[in-house]
Amino acid sequence: MGSIIEMAPLQVYYSGLLFTPMSSLIRVGYLKNIAWVTVEPKVADVWSSLIHTLKGYTGYGSSAVFSPNGKLVAFTSEDNTVRLWDTTGKQCGVLKGHTHVVSSAVFSPNGKLVASASADNTVRLWDTSTGRQCGVLEGHTNCVRSAVFSPDGKLVASASDDKTVRLWDTSTGRQCGVLEGHTSWVKSAVFSPNGKLVASASNDKTVRLWDTSTGKQCGVLGGHTDWVSSAVFSPNGKLVASASWDKTVRLWNSSTGKQCAVLEGHTDRVKSAVFSPNGKLVASVSDDKTVRLWDSSTGKQCGVLEGPTHWVNSAVFTPDGKLVASASGDKTVRLWDSSTGKQCGILEGHTDWVGSAVFSPDGKLVASASGDKTVRLWDSSTGKQCGVLESHTHDVNSAVFSLNGKLVASASKDQTVRLWDTSTGKQCGVLEGHTHVVSSAVFSPNGKLVASASADNTVRLWDTSTGRQCGVLKGHTLWVNSAVFSPDGKLVASASYDKTVRLWDTSTGKECGVLEGHTRWVYSAVFSPDGKLVASASDDGTVRLWDTSTGKQCGALKGHTGWVYSAVFSPDGKLVASASSDKTVRLWDTSTGKQCGVLHGHTGWVSSTVFSPNGKLVASASADKTVRLWDTTKKTTMQIIETPDSIVITKFSNDGMHLHTSHGVLQLKSPLHSGGNRELPHTLTHSLYVTDQWITYNMKKLLWLPVEYRRSCSAVNDTANLLVIGSDSGRVIFISFDFTALPAAYLQPPVAVIAGKGFLPWTCWLLKALMD
């Protein structure tokens, strides 16, 4: 203990305060001095008690929107679907068809259609009464960011990373205009109130105006000095407000294209701006944690709405303009009086950042969409708190949401899988039956089953509606590492230390194939996008391809000189990328089995690899503490990102700008649109990180972790500076930070012991109290 205190006395002192029991007089008296910790860990009430409460699971962005009559909510998430819910909370439709993440959904003015925009490069139209797809709008060559109906519902405008806005006829689904001119991604497009113009916002730092009848550009609104996040027309159509990363909102005359005001005051990038229903106010939201109100006629600031402790993601007015609702990374929705700027409500209950909030047409409800993969409905006059989730009695190895977002399955060393209802936070099933550690759990595509893989050599199938076991898949003779459903949910493939992959029929539980050929442990197996192939990665240095209909091996991908940890198919199924201990990533042609690329550069084992949404990039993570981005065509390194430790990459974000990893989110440097293949410089983008004993920030020690709070697993939400740590004791703690308030001493070498000799005994006393 003494050496730790001498090395970092300030950090240990603050740790002592944070991890002292809730009822401690020391905590009560002094914890208020740690202003840079915005969410404190929920620790024991008294010294001897244990916490067994989860406050939630992390997830990634989604959105919610009310139908014009207020009876339905459409919810988009990363399960590639749009889900329709009525305001009682019942799901009344799952709109399936997209093959990649759905970025946004919007109702038509009459509420009869939904248009959804997706990273699969399409917009899809859906009938809200039947849930059936009634149109696939194809033509974009890259991710579609947003889609919006014209005021009369006859047109849809879609904005895309292919630098275009496209107009579509909703009655025929035909493309009736390609609006070209932007030189970078188009973030959003919006119709004027009379439908005669479209305004588009782009990363080329401009807003462009287009004539919807001719498709011709009729104005370039230039002036911003950084990306334009969004643009919106005033209710009377005379003004356009644009929000930009240059920290300003600008107002433009829509008929002349001239700038008529620059709204300055934000101290960080502005994400969006919105007019009040009467057009007299503009509300803007920013990463500076504020919402600001502006007089649209003068451009003067008339209110700063302060309160959120993290970035504000969006804001919206009530239909009568009297309230503003803001959604924030601090997991809250806040309500504000637009006339006074005073906060009049905090809607708490979400367990991760809130991406958006929207009022119902009558203003009585608020729907909020969160990174915890839930949509919550709130009474705007009262606001009700949702429940909390209880924890396992041992380490939690993994947690996964069902595709409809209604359930979470968590797998634990306590030999159970637990199901949680995300709408209430209540545990709705304890799946007991395994006799050893449960390594992972996964939902079937329709969410009706869970498959759990265990060290007891079995895979078990569970009915999610009843929690009952409906199949014990026996056959493996050693630990089962993982299980995965086929895309249609009819098969499960399990990978085991017994050197085999086994296929199982989910309807009968019977084994329908033993894929033999590997000569050592099999780490993982994955289905191709069409479900016709399985790729398995093994300790024997090979990837093997199997025909799922016959169980026969149709390819042995040989070339690695070390263990292969994982393999993944490209989105079109034509390539497989494999990660190996030989420090390489290799690309393989699935039709021939031939190696078509060896990606050299890592200096340590490669643990994971993943394709970008368009298949043009591969990202790989290595024990050399770097992530590399590779061009799959030229087989060259495009970017290197240094990380504090070795990580596992799970997937690309839908926009290709971020990598989701086992320790948080890494931001990339526009990899999908890089102008060349030169190697970019090393960049540390993963700032918040947890090791065995320390929480670090930018690789500097931030807080020391007492033994009982040290990680068995962890997750980081970088956008909210939120850290989640699961420990061997079953505890799950959440800590969130405001790094702008971090004491200067943290940025200096650890000399506090020399500077203040009286500091050391006090820290020792606190540390001893924690250990006792």
pLDDT of residue 178: 94
**Dihedrals phi, psi of 579, to nearest 5 degrees:** -115, 135
Q: Name the burial class of residue 298, with classes exposed (0-12), middle (13-18) and buried (19+) by CB atoms within 10 angstroms of its CB.
A: exposed
Provide the pLDDT confidence category of residue 346 given band limits of 50, 70 and 90: confident
The pTM (predicted TM-score) of the whole model is 0.47
How high is the mean pLDDT of the chain? 79
**Dihedrals phi, psi of 29, to nearest 5 degrees:** -80, -30
Please tell me the least confidently modeled range out of 125-134, 193-202, 428-437. Answer: 428-437
* Contact yes or no for 401/408 (Cβ under 8 A): yes
* Contact yes or no for 302/310 (Cβ under 8 A): no
Higher pLDDT, 339 or 727: 339
Please tell me the least confidently modeled range out of 56-70, 322-336, 751-765. Answer: 751-765
Query: Could you tell me the end-to-end alpha-carbon distance of the chain, in angstroms, rounded to an integer?
Result: 13
**Dihedrals phi, psi of 747, to nearest 5 degrees:** -95, 0
Strands 533-538 and 617-622: unpaired
Residue 402 predicted with pLDDT over 90: no
pLDDT of residue 741: 82
Residue 49 predicted with pLDDT over 60: no
CA distances from 111 to 72, 115, 363 (A): 9, 11, 18
Provide the pLDDT confidence category of residue 694 given band limits of 50, 70 and 90: confident
Q: Which residue has the tokens 């990580």?
A: 647
d(CA 101, CA 615): 14
Provide the pLDDT confidence category of residue 714 given band limits of 50, 70 and 90: low
Burial pattern 495-524, b for ≥16 Cβ within 10 A else e, equals bbbbbbbbbbebeebebebebebbeebbbb
- Above pLDDT 70, what percent of the chain? 73
Q: What is the 3-state secondary structure (H, E, C) of 521-564?
A: CEEEEEECCCCCEEEEEECCCEEEEEECCCCCEEEEEECCCCCE
Provide the pLDDT confidence category of residue 684 given band limits of 50, 70 and 90: very low
d(CA 625, CA 461): 37
Residue 418 predicted with pLDDT over 60: no
Please tell me the least confidently modeled range out of 357-366, 384-393, 445-454, 487-496. Answer: 384-393
H/E run at residue 621: strand 617-622
pLDDT of residue 642: 81
Please state the rounded mean pLDDT for residues 45-55: 32
Higher pLDDT, 682 or 235: 235
Reported as a single tens digit per residue, the pLDDT across 615-671 is: 999 999 998 989 999 999 999 888 888 876 778 877 787 777 777 776 655 667 654
* Contact yes or no for 344/337 (Cβ under 8 A): yes
Reported as a single tens digit per residue, the pLDDT across 455-509 is: 889 999 988 888 888 889 999 999 998 889 999 999 999 999 999 999 999 999 9
* Contact yes or no for 697/686 (Cβ under 8 A): no
pLDDT of residue 44: 58
Amino acid (one-letter) located at 677:
N
The residues, ordered by sequence, that sit 6+ positions from 442 with a Cβ below 8 Å of its Cβ are 400, 409, 450, 451, 483, 484, 485
Please state the rounded mean pLDDT for residues 687-715: 70
Highest-scoring range by mean pLDDT, 40-44, 324-328, 396-400, 739-743: 324-328
Reported as a single tens digit per residue, the pLDDT across 288-343 is: 999 999 999 999 999 998 888 888 888 899 888 888 988 888 888 888 888 898 88
